[in-house]
Amino acid sequence: MPGPPRPGSSAPARTASGALLLSGHGASRGNALGRARVRLPHALEVAEQRIAPAQVEAELQRLHRAVDAARAEMHDLRQRLQGALNKEVGEFLDLHALLLDDPELLFGLDELIRTGPYSAGYALRVQRDRLAKVFDGMDDAYLKSRMDDLDHVIGRIHAFLQKRPPDVKGLAGEILVCDNIAPSELAQLQAHGVVGIVTAAGSALSHSAILARSLHLPLIVNVPNLLQKISDGDVLGIDGSTGQITVNPLPPDLRDYRARLREQAREQRELGRLRTKPSRTRDNVDIALLANAESREDVTEAHALGAHGLGLYRTEFLFLQRDELPDEQEQFETYRDAALGMSGRPVTIRTLDLGADKADRTGLTLSNEENPALGLRGVRLSLARPKVADTQLRAILRASAYGKLRILLPMVSTREEVLAVRRRLNKQAELLRAEGHEVAGHIPFGAMIEVPAAAIALESFIDLVDFLSIGTNDLVQYLLAADRNNEAVGELYSPLHPAVLRLLAHILRTGREHGVPVAVCGEIAGDPRMTRLLLALGLTEFSLHPGTLLEVRRAVRDSDLGELQAAAPKLLAARDRRSIERWMEKAGHDQRS
């Protein structure tokens, strides 16, 4: 199939049969055929409208009803979330719920209606523009990006003011074409029959892309001039692997599409046969594939797919979307059930990884941090809230009597943090045994390496841990100073940066030298295109989303570890991203031949 036109050519790309062909970045694999539903970028174009003083109270009530309706809509969607969606979508819904309760937003709206006196719609526009100026004046890229969340919330309120809630009906068999997509929309759109999404902006490494992959919903992002080239009702064939969109496909294109579907179905059948197969390379080296989880459903799926254990069990979901902190008994039962669900395989419980960047109604996190990504989060928050940390540690210790539990500390940056938690853990173990509780004799204790300082100074605290887990999502963005959700620097955020690979190799080498196992639990561990690269660097333990486990197992079984590691020096000598990509292409070709 022909690709895009040559640089300098003005002719649009075409398929072999002549249909228009657009190209973007494939963000979530899969093929889909459907009608285009074009959604233009949200713009709050409301003309200035003043009201009579006698109408003020009625207008205030109309605004408050719209806010309440938007809040109820988000609460209803939040209640329907299950498993991994609780984390990926729930965090955004919780953030939007907090924005709906923001006194600055609501008080400003009320004042505009009273003093204008303005209509609710115009007050909403004025207040939105005021807050946009505040966001634009911020230096921090993360906080600037929160303007998108504010626009999403204001758009919901405005829709209910107009008595037309967001249109998600009649979408069955359609492909949404829009400027960008919020993570909080994805599950709802899929539930109403959307078969794929194409966006003009966005990144293949954004939260929306990660969620789309977990939903197995085809997604193509960053398509130039998308909204000018596709009209409502056009038929689209999309390929989330290649990032190509065929507009109004002709009969030969439809035959190609059906062939891809047959190939996709065949591939899924082949993957299904790998459920009971070992994760072993061609040269007979066993590679551990563990699953990331945070719910019973995730644990069940991981067990059924033959995961070697849970490499990351998130505990934040116990703390989100509630007004009180979970007590020891509730946490104990949750961790115990995870241990029982894995039937003796290791379960790695990550202690609370919560910060001001995640919505929290319990008052546990700070609400006014200027840069939450660099603030009081992870192990820092646990040490700042010792009673909360002790409750969680006691629950994990009690659950250790029911299976092979491991404890993992997030956001570690110093030796002192590791020592402080180890002391608290030992103290709580002594107290529990004195109270008559059964506690495992030894619980492996590990640290997440996601702060560059921890990676560089690993020698200074590696003697305190039994294992390590590299959180590449945060490590990459901290190392490269590039927020993966900020489109302006989206091209800079890439795990295929020479500095990233060299730091990963350093961590893995240090772990080997000290006899400390090292896993990778970030997004790249579940990307089969990255499997050979990680094997070459020396990784033998992957922790990934259950939905990608079989694909990574296939990549492992198709690889010769000795050959890959022999080629590692050339990989680490690469000077730019393209050189690394060429190494990956060559490695893939050599391993297949």
Question: Which residues does residue 31 pair with via DSSP β-bridges, in sequence order?
Answer: 239
What pLDDT sits at residue 557? 95
Q: What is the pLDDT confidence band of residue 1, given thresholds at 50, 70 and 90?
A: very low
Percentage of residues of the chain with pLDDT beyond 70:
83
> What does the H/E/C string look like for 277-307?
CCCECCCCCECEEEEEECCHHHHHHHHHCCC
Strand ranges, E, within 481-589 = 518-520, 541-544
- Reported in sequence order, the residue ranges of 453-552 that DSSP labels E, i.e. its strands, are 467-470, 518-520, 541-544
370 pLDDT tier (thresholds 50, 70, 90): low
Judge whether residue 96 has pLDDT over 80. Answer: no
Please determine, for residue 170, whether its predicted confidence score (pLDDT) is greater than 80.
no
- H-helix or E-strand spanning residue 196: strand 196-199
Distance CA 196, CA 213 (A): 11
Q: Categorize the per-residue pLDDT at 401 as very low, low, confident or very high, splitting at 50, 70 and 90.
A: very high
- Residue 367 pLDDT grade (very low, low, confident, very high; cuts 50, 70, 90): low
User: Between vectors from CA 226 to CA 129 and to CA 19, what angle results, nearest 5°?
Assistant: 165
Residue 515 sits at the vertex; the CA angle it makes with 509 and 517, to the nearest 5 degrees, is 75
Given this model, what pLDDT does residue 7 score? 39
Confidence band (pLDDT; 50, 70, 90) for 39?
Answer: confident
- Given a cut of 50, is residue 84 above it in pLDDT? no
Quote the crossing angle between the two packed helices 183-191 and 207-215, to the nearest 10°.
30
pLDDT exceeds 50 at position 3 = no
Confidence of residue 362 (pLDDT cuts 50, 70, 90): low
Residues annotated catalytic, as ranges: 207, 521
What pLDDT does residue 81 have?
53
> What integer pLDDT is reported at residue 91 of this predicted model?
59
β-bridge pairing 244-247 and 20-23? antiparallel
How large is the average pLDDT for residues 175-194? 82
- Comparison of pLDDT for 167 and 125, the residue scoring more: 125
Q: Which of 155-169, 248-262, 512-526 has the highest mean pLDDT?
A: 512-526
Contact 415, 460 (CB under 8 A): yes
Residue 349 is given by DSSP the state E
Strand order across the 219-221 sheet: 20-23, 244-247, 235-239, 31-39, 174-178, 196-199, 219-221, 25-28
In the chain, count H helices and then E strands.
24, 16
Higher pLDDT, 39 or 429: 429
pLDDT score, position 373: 74
| The pLDDT of residue 354 is above 60 | yes
pLDDT the model gives residue 185:
77
The predicted pLDDT at position 209 comes to 83
For the whole model, what pTM was predicted?
0.71
- Is the pLDDT score of 193 beyond 70? yes
- Both tokens of 423, joined, read 């002391």
d(CA 101, CA 105): 8
Indicate the helix (H) or strand (E) that contains 177.
Answer: strand 174-178
pLDDT value of position 9: 43
Q: What is the DSSP pairing of strand 310-313 with strand 347-350?
A: parallel
Strand boundaries in 218-325, DSSP class E: 219-221, 235-239, 244-247, 288-293, 310-313
Q: Is 192:171 a contact under the CB 8 Å cutoff? A: yes
Predicted local distance difference test score (pLDDT) of residue 324: 83
State the pLDDT confidence band at 139, using cuts at 50, 70 and 90.
low
pLDDT averaged over every residue in the chain: 84
- How high is the pLDDT of residue 140? 53
> With pLDDT > 90 as the criterion, what percentage of the chain qualifies?
47
The Cα–Cα gap between 105 and 119 comes to 16
Q: Which residues contact 173 (CB under 8 A, 6 or more apart)?
A: 34, 35, 193, 195
* Residue 533: per-residue pLDDT: 97
User: Which has the higher per-residue pLDDT, 6 or 149?
Assistant: 149
Region of residue 8 (phi > 0: left; psi between -120 and 50: alpha; otherwise: beta): left
**Amino acid at position 373, single letter:** A
b/e code 21-32 from CB counts within 10 Å (16+ = b): bbbbbbbbbbbb
**Any idea which of 317-326, 508-517, 568-577 has the lowest mean pLDDT?**
317-326
Overall size of the chain counted in residues:
593
306 conformational bin, left if phi > 0, alpha if psi -120 to 50, beta if neither: left
At residue 43, the pLDDT reads: 54
Between residues 266 and 351, which one has the greater pLDDT? Answer: 351
Instruction: Say whether pLDDT at 347 is over 50.
Output: yes
| Res. 520: pLDDT tops 90 | yes
**Among 45-59, 261-275, 524-538, 570-584, which stretch is predicted with the lowest mean pLDDT?**
45-59
- What pLDDT does residue 5 have? 42
Token code pair at residue 134: 């505040």
DSSP state of 69: H
Average of per-residue pLDDT across 353-362: 60
The beta strand positions in 277-423, using DSSP E, are 288-293, 310-313, 347-350, 405-409
| Most confident option among 125-129, 512-516, 527-531 | 512-516
Task: Please tell me the predicted confidence (pLDDT) of residue 365.
Answer: 61
- The answer to whether 51 and 117 have CB atoms below 8 angstroms apart is yes
Average pLDDT over residues 157-165: 68
